[in-house]
């Protein structure tokens, strides 16, 4: 063939820049299921099923659109197990004049790709990923020379450049951000919507069997498997969200409820990140829904900010700071990840809920990731890289470009405040306010010290005290440090002893 177009597992879009550069009449598409990608961290079983099934369905979609696709399945006896090995075999088989690929989402894959031209003696063209609103170069230019990077300012630029929710050069409604109207706790409600679920078809069933036999040692429940694996179904899930959930998205964005795994969240991240949904189209649809008076502005703005703001911002930070970023450890945290992250078995109800549903669904919503599992790891002083690998492994939407900045930067403050202005830590009080977990917990959120006290309480103060050299100058932590000083040495000592006692029991493997 003339050009060989490699389409990666998270590039499942007909509008991909590499496909646009090629011609179905002369060129060939290569898609490969490889062991190395499924095991460089041992991904959740559901994540592997989702991706392999979505890849197989996308290959069918490409064929219907007139492309010739070379698809290598994981269990093909000749499969060499890595991208490089499979590209080598494809070059020998198809003798292309050149290769075309859209830039990958992970630094390690880009590094690998950069070696292919020499290794296989052919030009390898690596194209910009136009599925994002901004490019890696745009972000670098925006960041260049700034003393401090903050999402909010980047987001305003993005609103201006895209015109999304703009009224001329002013933000729609007069404010850039409507978070003051959001962040309400939710009440159990029988009529709360649920995300759209889909029945596995024959292709998905075959992948379920493959993953059951080849990845039995990986964590997570394989079934029930209900994710969309085709563009059509992902679009249906999206329409369902727009019609039934978006209106309350902003209001309950930070809420958590026992047994309500999704609340008013979209559960669209896995589809967006794999290419089944287009972020630009989705943001326009949300804007349309607001213009048609179907959803309030706080919901539309809150949702668009997550995608146009946060999603683009974290990607920019990733490419600005890799490869060192994932080794950041500004607070010198050096404890191992507690065992219960792999089982969900802990008496702390908030953690057993968040981890339990993660193992079941390969999904937890943002505030669970940030203020429950992330908060606990940060308070307990867990090595950021171990926390990072856990998040990369357990969520169906996790690729390093989006997961690492969220974990290393936003959640673990391991980059020392490059991505965000303060560490997201809280005592049990915050979790109690935003959820109904504490009422059913074996710990008492109101007690500060002693064996019955909510562990987040003493750990919170211990964290602040332990990291005071790095954190006490942070203007956003002025109030907590002032409260800590007002407590006086005796109370401080009790809190520190309580934290030390809990950490000792935790890492000695006692049932906490």
Contacts 24+ apart (CB under 8 A), 117-120: 119/84, 119/88, 120/87, 120/88, 120/91
Q: Does 349 bind ligand SF4 (CB under 6 A)?
A: yes
The entry of ligand FAD, ligand DLZ, ligand SF4, none near residue 104 (CB within 5 to 8 angstroms by kind) is ligand DLZ
Judge residue 32's burial from the number of C-beta atoms within 10 Å of its C-beta, 0-12 exposed, 13-18 middle, 19 or more buried. Answer: buried
For residue 290, the number of C-alpha atoms closer than 13 Å in the C-beta half-sphere is 22
Among residues 105 and 384, whose Cβ is nearest to ligand DLZ? 105
Q: How far apart are CA 68 and CA 52, in angstroms?
A: 19
Q: Smallest distance from the beta carbon of 268 to ligand FAD, in angstroms?
A: 5
Q: Does 129 bind ligand DLZ (CB under 6 A)?
A: no
Could you identify the residue written with the tokens 């070696």? 115
Q: Does 116 bind ligand DLZ (CB under 6 A)?
A: no
Question: Contact with ligand FAD (CB under 6 A): which of 133, 252, 390, 395?
Answer: 395
The entry of ligand SF4, ligand FAD, ligand DLZ, none near residue 379 (CB within 5 to 8 angstroms by kind) is none
Question: Contact with ligand SF4 (CB under 6 A): which of 432, 436, 449, 462?
Answer: 432
| Angle value at C-alpha 255, between 360 and 346, nearest 5 degrees | 45
Q: Does 256 bind ligand SF4 (CB under 6 A)?
A: no
| Per-residue tokens: 261 | 């795994």
Alpha carbon 450 to its chain centroid, in Å, reads 35
Q: Does 210 bind ligand DLZ (CB under 6 A)?
A: no
- Name which of 346, 427, 344, 347 is nearest 379 in CA terms: 427
Q: Does 269 bind ligand FAD (CB under 6 A)?
A: yes
Piece in contact with ligand SF4 (CB under 6 A), picked from 58-66, 85-93, 208-216, 438-446: 438-446
- Name which of 9, 21, 25 is nearest 58 in CA terms: 9
Q: Does 403 bind ligand FAD (CB under 6 A)?
A: yes
Q: Does 59 bind ligand DLZ (CB under 6 A)?
A: no
Could you identify the residue written with the tokens 């879009």? 13
Alpha carbon 14 to its chain centroid, in Å, reads 23
Q: Does 106 bind ligand DLZ (CB under 6 A)?
A: yes
Among residues 211 and 431, whose Cβ is nearest to ligand SF4? 431
Sheet holding 3-6, edge to edge: 68-72, 28-32, 3-6, 98-102, 124-127
Alpha carbon 182 to its chain centroid, in Å, reads 21
Helices (H), 245-296: 246-249, 269-274, 279-291
One symbol per residue from 349 to 388: x for binding ligand FAD (CB under 6 A), - otherwise; what is it? ----------------xx--xx---x--------------
Number of residues that bind ligand DLZ (CB under 6 A): 16
User: For binding to ligand SF4 (CB under 6 A), which residues are involved?
Assistant: 348-350, 428, 431-432, 437-438, 441, 443, 445, 454-456
User: For binding to ligand DLZ (CB under 6 A), which residues are involved?
Assistant: 8-10, 32-34, 37-38, 43, 48, 51, 104-106, 109, 399
């Amino acid at each position: 063939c003339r050009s060989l177009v490699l389409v990666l597992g998270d590039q499942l879009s007909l509008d991909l820049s590499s496909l646009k550069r090629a011609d179905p009449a002369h060129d060939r598409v290569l898609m490969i299921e490889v062991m190395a990608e499924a095991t460089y961290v041992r991904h959740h079983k559901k994540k592997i099923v989702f991706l392999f099934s979505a890849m197989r369905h996308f290959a069918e979609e490409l064929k219907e659109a007139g492309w010739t696709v070379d698809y290598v399945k994981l269990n093909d006896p000749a499969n060499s197990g890595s991208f490089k090995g499979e590209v080598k075999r494809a070059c020998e088989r198809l003798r292309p004049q050149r290769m075309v690929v859209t830039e990958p989402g992970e630094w390690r894959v880009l590094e690998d790709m950069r070696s292919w031209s020499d290794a296989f003696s052919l030009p390898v063209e690596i194209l910009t990923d136009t599925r994002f609103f901004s490019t890696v170069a745009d972000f670098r230019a925006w960041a260049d020379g700034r003393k401090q990077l903050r999402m909010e300012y980047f987001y305003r630029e993005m609103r201006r450049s895209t015109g999304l929710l703009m009224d001329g050069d002013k933000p729609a409604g007069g404010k850039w951000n409507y978070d003051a109207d959001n962040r309400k706790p939710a009440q159990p409600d029988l009529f709360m919507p649920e995300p759209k679920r889909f029945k596995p078809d024959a292709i998905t069933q075959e992948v379920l069997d493959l993953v059951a036999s080849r990845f039995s040692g990986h964590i997570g429940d394989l079934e029930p498997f209900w994710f969309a694996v085709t563009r059509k179904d992902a679009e249906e899930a999206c329409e369902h969200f727009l019609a039934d959930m978006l209106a309350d998205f902003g209001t309950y964005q930070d809420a958590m409820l026992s047994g309500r795994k999704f609340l008013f969240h979209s559960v669209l991240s896995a589809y967006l990140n794999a290419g089944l949904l287009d972020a630009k189209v989705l943001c326009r649809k949300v804007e349309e829904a607001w213009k048609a008076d179907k959803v309030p502005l706080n919901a539309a703005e809150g949702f668009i900010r997550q995608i146009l703001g946060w999603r683009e911002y974290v990607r920019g930070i990733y490419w600005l700071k890799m490869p060192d970023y994932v080794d950041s450890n500004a607070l010198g945290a050096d404890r191992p990840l507690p065992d219960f992250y792999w089982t969900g078995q802990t008496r702390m109800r908030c953690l057993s809920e968040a981890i339990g549903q993660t193992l079941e669904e390969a999904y937890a919503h943002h505030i669970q990731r940030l203020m429950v599992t992330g908060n606990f790891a940060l308070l307990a002083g867990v090595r950021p890289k171990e926390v990072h690998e856990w998040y990369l492994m357990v969520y169906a939407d996790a690729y390093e470009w989006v997961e690492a900045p969220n974990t290393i930067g936003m959640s673990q403050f391991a980059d020392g405040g490059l991505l965000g202005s303060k560490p997201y830590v809280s005592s049990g009080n915050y979790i109690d306010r935003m959820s109904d977990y504490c009422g059913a917990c074996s710990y008492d959120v109101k007690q500060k010290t002693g064996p019955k006290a909510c562990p987040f309480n003493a750990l919170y103060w211990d964290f602040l005290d332990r990291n005071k050299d790095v954190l006490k100058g942070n203007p956003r932590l002025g109030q907590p440090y002032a409260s800590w000083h007002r407590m006086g040495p005796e109370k401080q000592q009790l809190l520190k002893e309580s934290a030390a006692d809990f950490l000792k029991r935790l890492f000695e493997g006692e049932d906490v």
